[in-house]
Amino acid sequence: MIKLLLINILLFCSCAQAETLGTLFYSPAERAALVAARSGIAQTAIYTLNGITLRGAGKSVAWINGRAVTQVPPDPVIPTLVIHPDHVLIEGKVIKVGESLDINSGQRTLRLPEKAVRVKP
């Protein structure tokens, strides 16, 4: 009788704790968002060009949203990327180093004001 009572109490406690855990399984869309967040893939249409690495004999790399992206092979997130020495084109729109661009609205944001950095000869 006491064993049965203890088993019932343990089952009741485990059920009460399980409700506080919340959902342990995610929808396909939620899983895709988690995978994208872990890999650093942007889920927005705002792109920030952090830098460009040009290679004479190899692939050039653009650092977009803190992630290395190449033109060849095409990146799955930014397939329209074209890398130039001083800017990149995404969907035909120019983005310069240090600049953020919202592709949908066209709004640009500079991280640094003009002439904030001087290069001495």
Quick: pLDDT tens for 35-52: 667 766 545 678 899 989
DSSP assigned state of 108: E
pLDDT at 118 exceeding the cut of 90: no
The C-alpha atoms of residue 30 and residue 26 are separated, in whole angstroms, by 6
- CA–CA separation, 68 and 49 (whole Å): 10
What pLDDT, on a 0 to 100 scale, did the predictor assign at position 117?
A: 61
Q: What is the pLDDT of residue 18?
A: 46
| Two tokens, residue 17 | 């704790």
State yes or no: pLDDT of 55 exceeds 70. yes
d(CA 90, CA 49): 10
The burial class, CB within 10 Å (0-12 / 13-18 / 19+), for 2 is: exposed
The whole-model pTM stands at 0.56
